[in-house]
Amino acid sequence: MKRLAVYCGSATPADPRYIDLARDVGAALAREGIGIVYGGGRLGLMGALAASALLAGGEVIGVIPEALVRDEVANHDCTDLHIVDTMHERKAAFTRYADGFLILPGGVGTMDELWEAVSWAQLGYHAKPIGVLNAFGFYDGLLAFNLHMAEVGFVRPAHQSIIMAETELDLLLTRMRAHEPVMPIVGMAPDTL
C-alpha cells in the first residue's frame, strides 16, 4: 500500500481525542511510508491528519471541489492539491489515487465516502481494502448495523468481509495489507445473488 484514501471529518469535536487520533494516524502513516489522499481541507480531523503527515515528511494529496475551496479553507501546503468540479469527481479521484481506504471518525460526508467505497467493492469497480479505525468505539453502531444488514440478507456472505475494523491502527494496516479481493456481484452465479 503506497497510498491510502483517508476519510474523516472536517469538524473539530469538543473531545480532543479525535484531533489527537488524526494527528497520530497522519504521523504513523508517514513513518510507514504510506501516502495520504484526503479531502484537501485544513479544518478538523482532515487538517490535523494532513498537517501531522506533512510534518513527519509524508506525502499528502488533497482533492477538493472548487465550491469548497473557500468554505473548507483548502490546504495549499499539500504535496499536491487537486481542485475538481464535483463531489463525484472527488470520490473517483480518491479511488484512482489510492491503494485502499482508511476510515477515521467523521460525519455524513465520511459515511457517504465509506458506503460508496463498500458499494463499489461489491460491484467490482475496485478491489481495494477498506479499513475502519474504530477508535473509542465510535463505529460500534455502524458495525452492528452492517452485521444486521448481513443477518437480514442485504449483505451477501461473500461481501461480509469487505469492511475490516480494528481499534488499533497497526492491526488494521496489517489486515489491509493481507486483503484478498471479494467476488464482485457481476461475477456471481445467479443463485448467489
Output the pLDDT for position 188: 73
| Pairing outcome for strands 80-84 and 163-166 | unpaired
C-alpha cell at 11: 469538524
User: pLDDT (tens digit, 9 = 90+) per residue, 80-120?
Assistant: 999 999 999 999 999 999 999 999 999 999 999 999 999 99
User: pLDDT (tens digit, 9 = 90+) per residue, 149-183?
Assistant: 999 999 999 999 999 999 999 999 999 999 999 98
| Residue 163 CA neighbour count, 13 Å, CB half | 27
Taking a C-beta distance cutoff of 8 angstroms, is the pair 169, 134 a contact? no
| Within-domain flag for 187 | no
The number of distinct structural domains making up the chain is 1
Output the pLDDT for position 73: 83
Q: What is the CATH number of the domain that holds 62?
A: 3.40.50.450
| Within-domain flag for 25 | yes
Q: Tell me the pLDDT of the chain averaged across its residues.
A: 94
| Within-domain flag for 84 | yes
Handedness of CA 67, 70, 74, 77 (dihedral sign): positive
| Within-domain flag for 185 | no
With H, G, I as helix, E, B as strand and everything else as coil, classify residue 102.
strand
Predicted TM-score (pTM) of the model is: 0.95
Cα angle, residue 163 at apex, residues 13 and 128 outer, rounded to 5° = 105
Output the pLDDT for position 156: 92
| Within-domain flag for 108 | yes
Output the pLDDT for position 193: 55
| Within-domain flag for 183 | no
Stretch among 19-23, 81-85, 187-191 having the lowest mean pLDDT: 187-191
Specify the DSSP class assigned to residue 13.
-
| Within-domain flag for 52 | yes
Domain that holds residue 136: 3-178
Residues 6+ apart with CB under 8 A from 161: 182
| Within-domain flag for 186 | no
